[in-house]
Each structure stands twice: as C-alpha cells, then as structure tokens.
Amino acid sequence: MRLPYSLILIGRERGRYLPAILAVAFCAQLNILQWGVLLGTLSVLSTPVDRSRADVWVASRDVLSIELGSPIPAVWQSRVASQPEVVQSEIYLFGFSYWHKRRGGAEVCCVVGSRLDEQALGALADLTPDMRKRLTEPGAVVVDASEMDRLGIASVGGSAEVFGHRVSVVGLLHGFKSVGSPYVFCSLRTARMILPMFQEKPHDTMYLLARCRDPKQADELVERLQQYPDMSAFKRDDFSQRTRLYWLTQTNAGIGMGCTAGLALLVGLVVTSQTLYAATAASLREYAVLRALGIARWRMGAMVLAQSFWVGLFGIALAMPVVFTLGAAANFAGARVLLPPWLFAGGNATTMVMALLSGLAALRSLRLVEPITLLR
Amino acid sequence: MASAKSTLEARHLVRSFGDGETKTTVLHDVSLDLYGGEVTLLMGPSGSGKSTLLAVMSGLMRPDSGEVVALGQRLWQMSEGEQRRFRLRHCGFIFQGFNLFPSLTPREQLEMVLRWGEGTSHRDAERRVEEALVRLSLGQRGDLTTDQLSGGEKQRVAIARALLKDPTFCFADEPTSSLDWGHGEQVIQLLQAAARERGATIFIVAHDARIVPYADRVYHLDDGRLSASGGRQPPDSCRNEESGG
C-alpha cells in the first residue's frame, strides 16, 4: 500500500512544509494553554464552592458570583432548615478585609469563615483534623503556602493584624492561590471578628448552606427556596459555574482571551495558507501537465486539502507534548492550568478547522494551472 | 495520397493575439491532417506559430476560426468537460522541460496519472507502470526521486507519462530541446516506436533538423503559413488555403 501523494510530498519536502506545521503547532499550543490557564484561574475563583459539602447555596437575591453576595439575616436559616429535603444547614461568612503585615504594608484579603467540625458543610475538605482543631482558637487562620510572601508570613506561627485583631497562621494549604485577594480560611467566630461588615451586622451571614437527604433533591429544594422574593438559591455546581461564567463574560478576561485565541488562529491560518499556496505554485507546471493529460482539477484541489489536513495533524501532534510539559511546569510553579479532555478535543478541532480553511484558501493557486502556459 | 485514414484533420485554422493595432495573426488559414501510425514533424523558426498550432490542434487553445476534427469529433464544439475527457482518453503530451514533481519517483509520477486520470486500482497501476518503466529502460531507476535522474532519464519519464495511457495522439513540443543529440535521438526513436508498434498519431513540433529522417511527414511553418517540406510520405495533406497551398 502506497502512502497518499500528499503525505509523500510533505515527507520529502519537509523544509517547505515545516513553517506551516510549526504555525499550526504554535496555534494549537497557544489556544489550549491559554484556555487552560483561564479555566484554572476561574476554577480558583469558585474553589470555596467546589470544595464544600453543601448541596445548595442560599444567597441574597440575584447574586452573580461568590464575591458579590450581600449579607442576609442569619435567621433565614430556619427557612432552609424547615424544608423537608434538608438534613443539615449552616451559615457561611465571606467578605473582604485588610491584612496588615507585621513589617508594614497591607493587602486586601478574602476571609472565608465556616464551621469546622468533620460534618461541616462549608469547611474545605483539605483541612486536616489538626488544622480544624487549631482553627477553633480565636484569630487562628490558614492560608495558601504560595501567598506567604504576599501576606508577610515567614512560616506557620507567623502573625498579622486584620481589622484591628491579631491573627496567627496555624497551617498552610496548597492549590488555593487566589487570582485577586489571598484567601484567609478561619472559623465563624474569627471571621465575625475580622470582617467589618459582620461587626456592624452581627446577626447577618453571607450565605446559608444546605445538605439534602438525597443530593438528587437539590433541584426541588432550589426551586422552592427561589420562591422567597428576597433570596436566591443554587445547586453547588450551578453556583460554581455562575461564579466562573461571571468572570468569563463580565470581565475583560474572557474577551481578552478570545481575542488572543482569534489572533493565534489568524496567524496560523495566514502562515499555513501561504505555505500551501507557495508549495502549489511551485508545482504549477507539473499540475499543468496533468491538466493537459485530462486529469480533473478537483484531484489537485483534493491533494492541497489533504496536505492541509496532514499539516494540521502533524502540527497538533507536535504541540501536544509541549502543551503537557508547559501545563505541568505552570502547575509546578504555582499557577493553576486545567487541561480537561474536552479542552483538547475542542482546541484541536478548532486548529484542524483552521488548517483545512487554510487549504481552502490555498486552492486559489490552482486557478493558475493552465496547460497552455507550458507551450513557449 | 494518404497511406491511411487521417485521425485528426485541422481545417482553416486562424489564431491571433492582441487587439486593434497590436493584433498579431499567428496562424493564417492553416489546414493539416495527421495519420495514425505516423510521425508528423512540424518545423519552423522561433515565433513562427508552431506551438500555437500544436495547442489549437490538441484542444489546449481555441482558434479564432477553423475547426479540428479528431477521431470524427469536432474538438472545438465540445464543452470544456468533454474536451478534458477527450484528452484524458486519447491524448498524451510532452512539453519542453520535463515538468516532473522533483520529489516524487518516476514510479509515483506515472501511477499518479493512472490513478487520478482513470481511477485505476493500485495493483493495476503498479503493473502498467512497471511495464512502461521496463519498456523505456527505467526499470532500475523507478524508485529514485526525479532529482536523482539525468536529463535523458527525466525526458524518458516524461515520455512514459505521455504514452502510459496508450493514447491515440501524442503531441510533443520541442521534446529534444533540453537534451544532447544522443539522448534526443533516443527520445525520437521512442516516439517513432509508439507510432509503429501501437499505431499512435505522433505530432512533433521542433526546430532540430536532425529529427527529419525519423518523420513520416514533415511540414514547415513560417510566419503562420504552412508548407510541406518532405518526409517519408508525400505530404499530400498540407494546405495553406490563403496562399492556394
């Protein structure tokens, strides 16, 4: 079985086709990696939601994202607890405060306060029993290890002042590096102490969390809680997605990323189509002989398109190890890059479409194929 | 008198280029017959219109007036698709230069013609190509890329490509111009053999007088006007209507 002519030509004229293959590889890498970075960044924003055990999150009316909630009365917990599906409910504090470093300087930090027992709905699954125990002390907090420099903390045991109260770092987490303000995880008691808004409104909470007897009942519960005119309720995954989508669509992050992806595709398209055009133009006389011999023009068009397919495939194959390596390196360095299978499928499909489009654009060179040009 | 029935008849061909004052007539009312099993040679100086006549007779360039009847079919009354299919079925071409894909082997170049042209199966194409390569003494060179072949070998591949389909007509435009006479003579002998052994109609356009002894009919084109100038057969079919032929 002989290889297709399109593949034979690419193999034997590697130098000619290499720029197109590299352009496709660059395009595929950039697309997948930058969306991976964006997904990683967005996932950090919704981490407190994703790592909770709650089936349903209850918030102020029409909250768009976890950071944009408004305080609600803590007594509304009875509205939630009285629902037939609910077996457990609790309050959850979330807000921003000033972290004053011991050596001077301040950072805005994001304070997350929850119950800490083993059955708590809001506590991060990552908190060890030892951390949970230590966090019960007033002023005890845990932070992400990669935020230590930013928070002016040298090691566990380091301290700072938040809203006039001394706080002490009793443990370090990994994988909670924030995009904006560093996360500070603590007990409800500590959170009330260091969050200004809850000092003014000591009977309020930011969220109410609920666990259903059966997680499948969450839909029904949400529907019923939504009937209260002054609060909103979401299933955990929906609230997580709502938070990520808000950041993706309502900030310039998504738009900027989309523009960069479009630019990468454009660069890939232009380089690939020009390379294929030049390769076809260099063989115009050979194609013209084939035309004189009566071979249909579509045969040559099919070969150009087949070449664009192979260029796309080789480019993607070249890009994948680089994507994995750079993704792993970025994660190792503390950034979060998410590379789910659907991102590879989508990114590679987009790149392949780009390569085939460049083949279509290169077909214009075949208009120049005329046998009469061979007669001098 | 023609020794056989003509396979191609060109009648009153006129072709000009340009418009108005820049209009130049390249063919002046040229009529010519070609015969199966014969080599017909058209000679003339550069710019005399030889290649234009070949293009018009082979269906590559439409004449301003006149007609070409090939195998009983009026070539210039066919649609573009019909012309292409006619060329696919009946015509082989050899052009100046070799016009071979530099990075394909002779075997691949020839198989491409069969598989793309006739949709021949891989196995059949392989067999026919092997036969063609052996016939042209290229059996040992079939797997080298074109870059690795000598000029004579390249031209033999080009001839093999033209004759591969066993065409009724083979049109050759200056087939020896890129070769020394040793290789050029081999090329002409191969074309002559195609006429003798397969009954092909060979039409060669050239200005090299050393080809003349191999031609059955020889015509001369000068400033777009045709005249007979010798050959093995009496050139009875030559007419230049404008000059009374």
Hey, of B27, B51, B93, which one would you mutate to test binding to chain A, going by the most A CBs within 10 A of its CB? B93
How far are the Cα atoms of A32, A37, A185, A324, A344 from residue A338, in angstroms, in the given order?
Answer: 10, 7, 24, 10, 11
Please give the residue that has the higher pLDDT: either A37 or A210.
A210
Distance CA B204, CA B212 (A): 10
pLDDT digits (tens, 9 = 90+) for A39-67: 888 888 888 899 899 999 999 998 999 98
pLDDT digits (tens, 9 = 90+) for A230-265: 999 999 999 999 998 888 887 777 778 778 888 888
**Per-residue model confidence (pLDDT) at position A115:** 94
pLDDT digits (tens, 9 = 90+) for B217-227: 999 999 889 88
**pLDDT-based confidence at residue A125 (cuts at 50, 70, 90):** confident
* Pick among 3.20.20.70, 3.40.1050.10, 3.40.1180.10, 3.40.50.300: CATH of B6-243: 3.40.50.300
In angstroms, the separation between the Cα of residue B4 and the nearest Cα of chain A is 26
**Per-residue model confidence (pLDDT) at position A255:** 79
Catalogue the E-assigned strands of chain A: 56-60, 72-73, 86-100, 106-114, 140-144, 159-162, 165-173, 183-187, 204-205, 207-212, 231-235
Distance CA A57, CA B119 (A): 66
Smallest Cβ–Cβ distance between A372 and the set B61, B87, B92 belongs to B61
**pLDDT-based confidence at residue B229 (cuts at 50, 70, 90):** low
**pLDDT-based confidence at residue B232 (cuts at 50, 70, 90):** low
Going by C-alpha positions, the residue among B9, B166, B201 that lies closest to residue B89 is B166
How far are the Cα atoms of A50, A70, A97, A231, A252 from residue A63, in angstroms, in the given order?
Answer: 17, 8, 20, 9, 20
Residues of chain A with pLDDT > 90, as a percent, come to 67
**Per-residue model confidence (pLDDT) at position B82:** 95
Going by C-alpha positions, the residue among A194, A209, A210, A238 that lies closest to residue A46 is A238
3-state secondary structure of A288: helix
pLDDT digits (tens, 9 = 90+) for A21-32: 999 999 899 889
Please give the residue that has the higher pLDDT: either B178 or B175.
B175
**Per-residue model confidence (pLDDT) at position B135:** 82
Q: What is the mean pLDDT of residues A11-36?
A: 90
Task: Annotate A228-287 with DSSP letters as a single string.
Answer: STTEEEEEHHHHHHHHHHHHHHHSHHHHHHHHHHHHHHHHHHHHHHHHHHHHHHHTHHHH
Smallest Cβ–Cβ distance between A5 and the set B51, B108, B165 belongs to B108
Which residue matches tokens 């593949």? Answer: A7
The secondary structure element, H or E, covering residue B142 is none
The DSSP code for B75 is G
Query: Does residue A184 have a pLDDT over 80?
Result: yes
Smallest Cβ–Cβ distance between B55 and the set A293, A299, A375 belongs to A375
β-partners of residue A171 are A142
Q: What is the mean pLDDT of residues A205-214?
A: 95
| Residue A78 CB contacts under 8 Å (≥ 6 apart), including other chains | none
**Per-residue model confidence (pLDDT) at position B243:** 41
Contacts of residue A290 in chain B, CB cutoff 8 Å? Answer: 112-113, 116-117
**Per-residue model confidence (pLDDT) at position A331:** 85
In angstroms, the separation between the Cα of residue A298 and the nearest Cα of chain B is 10
β-partners of residue B32 are B10
pLDDT digits (tens, 9 = 90+) for A160-183: 999 999 999 999 998 888 778 999
Smallest Cβ–Cβ distance between A293 and the set B100, B104, B117 belongs to B117
**Per-residue model confidence (pLDDT) at position B214:** 93
Contacts of residue B108 in chain A, CB cutoff 8 Å? Answer: 2, 5, 8
Distance CA A357, CA A272 (A): 9
**Per-residue model confidence (pLDDT) at position B1:** 40
Report the chain B residue with the minimal C-alpha distance to residue A370: B60
Report the chain A residue with the minimal C-alpha distance to residue B173: A375
Query: Does residue B170 have a pLDDT over 50?
Result: yes
Distance CA B129, CA B142 (A): 9
Q: What is the mean pLDDT of residues B21-40?
A: 93
Its pTM stands at 0.79
Contacts of residue B51 in chain A, CB cutoff 8 Å? Answer: 375-376
Residues of A engaging B, defined by a Cβ cutoff of 8 Å: 1-2, 5, 8-9, 12-13, 283, 285-286, 288-296, 299, 371-372, 374-376
Query: Does residue A206 have a pLDDT over 80?
Result: yes
Domain boundaries, chain B: 6-243
The secondary structure element, H or E, covering residue A189 is helix A188-194
Q: Does the beta-carbon distance from B84 to A294 stay under 8 Å?
A: yes
Please give the residue that has the higher pLDDT: either A318 or B181.
A318
Q: What is the mean pLDDT of residues A65-88?
A: 93
> Residue A54: which region, alpha, beta or left (left: phi > 0; alpha: psi -120 to 50)?
beta
**pLDDT-based confidence at residue A106 (cuts at 50, 70, 90):** very high
Query: Does residue B86 have a pLDDT over 80?
Result: yes
Residues of B engaging A, defined by a Cβ cutoff of 8 Å: 51-52, 54-55, 58, 60-61, 84-89, 91-93, 95-97, 99-101, 103-104, 108, 111-113, 116-117, 122, 145, 161-162, 165, 173-174
**Per-residue model confidence (pLDDT) at position A1:** 65
Report the chain A residue with the minimal C-alpha distance to residue B165: A293
